[in-house]
Amino acid sequence: MPRQDIFYFRKDEHQFDDSIETFWAGGGCMFVRAELYHRLGGLDKDLYAHMEEVDLCWRIKNAGYRIGYCGASTVYHIGGSVISYGSPAKIFYNYRNSLVLLLKNLPASKLWWLLPFRLLLDGVSGMRALLKGDFKEVGAIIRAHWHFFITIGLWWRKRKEVRKWAVQDTQSGIYPGSLIVDYFMRKKTRFQQYNFPVKPL
């Protein structure tokens, strides 16, 4: 069985060759119509180098379009070059921008409970880092939350703008369970073991 590590990369044995609908496409291998890109505001520069493509894809989905994964394609990507993996900066933007994406794109019916729940999970993650003695990670999480709240007016204005384009709040491509629970506790190590609500293209 593969090691239980979120950074584990499985050997490509053509198990990912399906072409399916997904929730977002990686910024290093994304194609989007220029007219749609500009109409929906493009990449949000205020997110800075992390999750901008997820935010854009979420807006595209809410505007009534689909995102597709083409399994027959081959993409070569060197990896992160702006922010190093595992660095305090990467942790900061991961936590802060996750909160921003929820605030900007969730419907009000989910935002009121999912955002506080995410804050709670972040707190649990911070406590885990504290118990491990990883004070850099703890500091990055605290700074992420602090920065999110002092700039919440900016993100709220952006929310009001992007919600004008929303014609649907799609669940297509969003995993209905908990990836953390299924991967670490239920030992689901293969994509095929997950019941993602996706459709073939």
Q: Where are the domains of the chain?
A: 20-193
Kindly tell me if the per-residue pLDDT of 3 is higher than 60: no
Can you tell me which residue has the tokens 């990670």?
137
- The stretch 22-41 carries a mean pLDDT of 91
Distances (CA, A) of 42 to 8, 32, 39, 58, 65: 31, 10, 8, 12, 15
Q: Which residues pair with 68 in a beta bridge?
A: 21
Q: Which residues of 56-66 are buried (b: 16+ CB within 10 A; e: fewer)?
A: bbbbbbbbebe
Are the CB atoms for 200 and 18 separated by under 8 Å? yes
Residue 80: per-residue pLDDT = 60
Q: What is the pTM of this model?
A: 0.86
- The stretch 11-23 carries a mean pLDDT of 82
The CA distance from 56 to 59, in Å, is: 5
Residue 34 burial (10 A CB sphere; 0-12, 13-18, 19+):
exposed
